Every structure is written in C-alpha cells, then in structure tokens.
Structure 1
Amino acid sequence: MSDVLVVSEHRRGELRDASYEAITAGRELADARGGDLHVAVIGGDVDRFAEDLNREGVDAIHVVDDGEEFDHNVHQAAIAALLDRTDAGTVVAPNSVNGLDYAPAVAEDRSLPLVTDAIGFEYDGGLTVTREMYGSKVETTVDVDGDRHVLTVRGGEWAPAEGVGDAAIESVDVDLLESGARVTGFEEVGGGDVDIADADVLVSVGRGIEEEENLELVEELADALGATLSASRPIVDNGWLPKNRQVGQSGKVVTPDVYLAVGISGAVQHVAGMKGSDTIIAINTDPNAPIFDIADYGIVGDLFEVVPELVDEFA
C-alpha cells in the first residue's frame, strides 16, 4: 500500500488551485513511499478536468461522473471505491471546506488515522506530519500510526503541479450511499461575487487604514493596479468589508502573483494565509513590523502619503 490517492477539487465548473498543489504534495509522498500517484476527479466536467490534471508525476487518473457540484455522499463512496481498487496507502485532500467535509467520513468509515491542515511531512517507514497550532504560533510534528492514512494539506504550502503527464484515465462507477440526500445546485452567499483565492494581484488593507472612510484610498489603488481588494481580520470584524475578502487563518489562503499589504502589521494568523504569494510588498510605518520579515519589498512610510503616490504612478 505504497501508493497515494489525491482528491481534486472543483467549484462552479473550474478546478481550484488546491487540486494542483495537492498533486505536488501527493507526488512528494508517493516518491518517499516508492509508490504511484493516483488522482480522483469526482463530478463536474470530468473529461476536461482529467485532461487539465494530467500533470507530470501523475500515474493514473480516475473519474467518477456524478453530479456537477461537490456532494458528500458521492465523494465518500467514490473514495471508498478507489481505495478498494488501488494500492493507495494515503488519501491526500485539500484542507478546504469540502476536504474537511468528506475526509473525516472516509477516515471513520475505514478506521484510518486522520491528520488535517498539514504544512509538511516526511516518510521514513512511517508518516510524520508537520502542523501549526495555537494560531500558527507553534509548529508541531505528529507521528501517524499505521500504513494507511487520510491527510488534508494546507493551500499555498506546495507549488502547483506543472508539466504535461501521460497518465492513463479510467472511468469508475460507484454505488452511492443510501442517505436520501443529494446536492442539486450551488448558491453563493455573503458577497460571493469575488473569490480572492483566484486573484492574480491582491491589495490587502489592515487596521492601519484607521477609519472606514479611508478605504476609498486603497480601493483606488486596487483599481489602478487592476487588483482585487482584500483585508486582514480587523477590517472584517469591524464590518468594513465582507467575510469573503478576509485573508488569513480564519479567512482564506491566497497565493497571488503579487500581494500588496497596506497597513498590515503581519500577525501570524494573517501571514499563514498569504505567505505563499509569489511577491509580497508591504507598506507600514513601523520598520519592525513582522510583515517586513516575509516581504520581498517594503516601504516604511505613512500609507496616506505612499498610496496616493502609487495611485498617481499607475493610474
């Protein structure tokens, strides 16, 4: 049971970045175990998804054509069927709302240990998983018993899988659990017009903005850059921006090409949600602000002076 089974994720007809990151994590673990990497595509446009996920390092892709959106029962039944027909010792899923829905059910059904929100792991005859605790203030390692496991991996910790693969693609029929419940559609709530996790450029605002009326200044910068506006938790807690704009451990994990932090000090909970960004730029009056420890570029200055200059430059 040296193989690894990665469960891909999609929403509203599009694969999510977490799918490609999970493939990279799964390949890493499969190499350590000396096994193959299997990828599950469950529901949605399975043929297109399978083609997109056929990346370098993938050995086999299994598609279950049932439904358009995520369905707990379909996922649990499909993963159980794939565990029966493959040599997978570990199931790797994104540490997302969906992943945290079905992963515990799979682990319970098969009496397997479950470790969530992994940021790293090692395998040397046994699995050791690295996690963060207490608001990302403490990094811990967990030794996992047995040779089969269910693991969810945090977004932004592994690079997305690249290259073109030549994996075999097979269709799998599964018997659904008799629960009487079926997902019939998907409805966005809470200002779901924007998904900051999909943005290439984010301008993120923190408590340094001082007052809600000053948000307009940062919005102008986001417009000038063609960026999406996001925020740290204090801004959302104050009700100045909706929850779907929050970056951080209690918000969304983002990995944009550019992350511009305006008036954000860099608390560990916020950093956990954006440290995987390709380029991080920070504006803060405090030269000792923790955000500068991870920033690629930093401006020590008053955002009320710096931001208008940037707007003039890029508008």
Structure 2
Amino acid sequence: MSDVLAVTEHRRGELRDESFEVITAGRELADDAGGDLHLAVISGNVDEFADDLNRQGVDAIHTVEYGEEFNHDVYVQAVCALYDDLTPTFLLMPNSVNGLDYAPAVANHLDLPLVTDAVGFEYNDTLVVTREMYGSKVETSVEVDGDRFAVTTRGAEWPEAEGVSEAEVSAFDFEPDESAIRSSVTGFEEVGGGDVDISEAEFLVSIGRGIEEEENLPLIEDLVEATGATLSSSRPIVDNGWLPKNRQVGQSGKQVTPKVYLAIGISGAVQHVAGMKGADTIIAINTDPNAPIFDIADYGIVGDLFDVVPELTEQFES
C-alpha cells in the first residue's frame, strides 16, 4: 500500500487554490498506487482550514498548530516529522513561492529524489512525472529512480477538489526544535500596484500588444467597468510600463483560474497560455485567425479589437 502525503498552503488567513488542487493530484496518485491520501495543514487556523479541506478523496487530515503564517524552519521540521510518522511513498508539495522554499530542504533532509513543477504523473511500480521545458514548448517525461518520492505540483494543472468527505482530522503531536527556528514573518509588503490580486478574480479582461498604444487603454477600461471584470495583461504590456507587474498573467507573472478569461489582442504565446489555460471559459479577440490563442479558446472573434470592444461595451452597458 503506497500512501500520499500532500502539504496544503495558506496565506494571510486564507487557503490558497493550490491546496485544493493538490488534493486532486494526490488522489490521482493514491489511486494509481492503491494507497490513502493524507493532508498536512501547518500553522494558522488549522481547525477551520481542515474543515474546508475535508473534500472528496481525502482519507486523513493532520494538523500542526504552530504560528500563524508560513515559516521555512517550522515547515521543514513539521513536514519531516509527519513524513517519518506516516512513512508515505509520495510527498506532494505545491510548486509555489512557499513550496519551493521548503521542498528542497525537506527532500534533502529525508534523502528523497525531488521533481519540481510537475504538470502530470502516473505510477505503475515506477513514478513517471510529466514536466514542461523551454517555455512550455516541450513536454518531457521524467522516470524517477527510487522507492519513495517528493514532487512539487504546478498550480492550475489539476482542478480543485470538490464534494464533502468525512476524513478523520487529528492534531499531530509536534514539538519543534526552537533553536532551529531562525526566522519569523514580521509583515507583508505587496508588489507595486498590489491593490488587486488577479489570481482571485472570477472574470479577467486581459490585453496584449494588439492594443498598440497606452493611449488605447481607456477603451479596454470602459469594457472592464461595464462588465465588472478585473484588468490583466500579457508581459509586453507590463514591460512597456502600461500596467504594473501584479497585473501580468503567464509564467513570469501570475497563474490565474477565473471563470471567464477574455483575451484581447493576445496572440497566445506558450508563456502566457501557461498562466491562464486553467480558466473555465476562454474567449479570444484577435485579427489573426491563425493566432495560437484560438487553439485553446472556447469562443473566438476574428476581428479588429477597436471595432469589437466598443460594441461589447455598448451591449453590456445596455
């Protein structure tokens, strides 16, 4: 029996989407291996988080009550202690800023092979992890040599777990080595223009180099206001200084999973698509019928955005 231990993530009192996605990934792997899925909930309001995470597919939840926010030294000790207690075959962690902070240290301490940024995997006596390289232009399969494995999973690659489970929730008896806790969170500072977190938006209107000039932004902003959407962009818009960094979608920006993603004047480069392909519904407006964005779009409009956007705005305003 090969069990899976998946570590969840929260920030500033709220569970991150990655926590619900890693449940789906963990259940998939546990089914392949014929094992149980265990979740680790570390720090913060662990009891409330455990209730929210008790989703379909979870077999057991282990809470570690220590501090309020992520702390590298605490997570390394807690994850290692849980792993030693449960002895799972697989250890899953989010491929996030926090996950990539502690995952290498945990893998080193436990002497586990670590594969990062997984977009898929399968197990049949041997673990094969799917990864993407060269800006997601090449998909590779990595066969991992070992009996136990550590993997970080890329966000927005697995759907969020749904449904309700009755998994047992237990407090893990954890006594950290206080002398090894050498850091603490003293506060948070948002990236410039951090008034909006596009990763939390349900409707994104995203713009690319097709808007041509910064002076054309008000045309898009009118549509954003009429629809109640949130404005985001591809990298060229941010590189030009037309929008702040926190509005950028893509590999070098943020990964988003809105209900609706409206791409205006975006060609659909792989780096951008990697950040938004998890949207429920993708709508694209582009003059080029062969633009790659149409390959993943659910609905497409081949036309000049300077004609289409005003029409859309008028329709929503009326």
**TM-score computed with the length of structure 1 as normaliser:** 0.97
- 1:216 aligned to 215, 218, 223, which one? 218
Shift of residue 219, structure 1, vs aligned partner: 1.5
Aligned identity (percent) is 72
**Once structures 1 and 2 are overlaid, which stretch shifts more, 34-43 or 174-183?**
174-183
Equivalent residue number for residue 83 of structure 1: 83
Relative to structure 1, is the Cα distance of residues 69 and 179 closer, same or farther in structure 2, using a 3 angstrom cutoff? closer
Specify the code of the residue in structure 1 equivalent to 2:11: R
What SS is found at the alignment partner of 2:82?
Answer: helix
Equivalent residue number for residue 175 of structure 2: 174
Q: Is the 8 A contact 2:286 2:301 kept in 1?
A: yes
Specify the code of the residue in structure 1 equivalent to 2:209: R
What SS is found at the alignment partner of 1:41?
Answer: strand
2:276 is the counterpart of 1:274: yes
Equivalent residue number for residue 194 of structure 2: 192
Structure 1: unaligned runs, 5 residues or longer: none
What SS is found at the alignment partner of 2:163?
Answer: coil
Alignment of 1:233-244 (within 5 A): 233-244=235-246
Equivalent residue number for residue 292 of structure 1: 294
Instruction: Quote the RMSD (CA, aligned, Å).
Output: 1.1
Shift of residue 174, structure 1, vs aligned partner: 3.3
**Once structures 1 and 2 are overlaid, which stretch shifts more, 169-178 or 223-232?**
169-178
2:163 is the counterpart of 1:163: yes
User: C-alpha distance in 2, partners of 1:131/1:174?
Assistant: 36
Equivalent residue number for residue 206 of structure 1: 208
**Once structures 1 and 2 are overlaid, which stretch shifts more, 217-226 or 25-34?**
217-226
Shift of residue 256, structure 1, vs aligned partner: 0.7
Equivalent residue number for residue 118 of structure 2: 118
Q: Is the 8 A contact 1:254 1:276 kept in 2?
A: yes
Equivalent residue number for residue 252 of structure 1: 254
Equivalent residue number for residue 301 of structure 1: 303
User: C-alpha distance in 1, partners of 2:104/2:87?
Assistant: 20
Shift of residue 179, structure 1, vs aligned partner: 4.1
What SS is found at the alignment partner of 1:189?
Answer: coil
Shift of residue 45, structure 1, vs aligned partner: 1.2
Once the two structures are superposed, residues 162-207 of structure 1 have per-residue CA deviations (whole angstroms, 9 ceiling, x without a partner) of 1101111111223146142222333323222211111111000000
Equivalent residue number for residue 229 of structure 1: 231
What SS is found at the alignment partner of 2:89?
Answer: strand
**TM-score computed with the length of structure 2 as normaliser:** 0.97
User: C-alpha distance in 2, partners of 1:149/1:192?
Assistant: 37
User: C-alpha distance in 2, partners of 1:207/1:49?
Assistant: 41
What SS is found at the alignment partner of 2:275?
Answer: coil
User: C-alpha distance in 1, partners of 2:22/2:146?
Assistant: 22
User: C-alpha distance in 1, partners of 2:192/2:63?
Assistant: 32
Specify the code of the residue in structure 2 equivalent to 1:238: N
Structure 2: unaligned runs, 5 residues or longer: none
Once the two structures are superposed, residues 73-96 of structure 1 have per-residue CA deviations (whole angstroms, 9 ceiling, x without a partner) of 111111001001113111111111
What SS is found at the alignment partner of 1:88?
Answer: coil
Equivalent residue number for residue 100 of structure 2: 100
Equivalent residue number for residue 24 of structure 2: 24
* Runs of 4+ with deviation above 3 angstroms: none
User: C-alpha distance in 2, partners of 1:21/1:72?
Assistant: 22
User: C-alpha distance in 2, partners of 1:74/1:148?
Assistant: 23
User: C-alpha distance in 1, partners of 2:275/2:197?
Assistant: 14
**Once structures 1 and 2 are overlaid, which stretch shifts more, 188-197 or 282-291?**
188-197
Query: What is the number of equivalent residue pairs in this alignment?
Result: 315
Equivalent residue number for residue 60 of structure 1: 60
What SS is found at the alignment partner of 1:273?
Answer: helix
**Once structures 1 and 2 are overlaid, which stretch shifts more, 294-303 or 145-154?**
145-154
Equivalent residue number for residue 129 of structure 2: 129
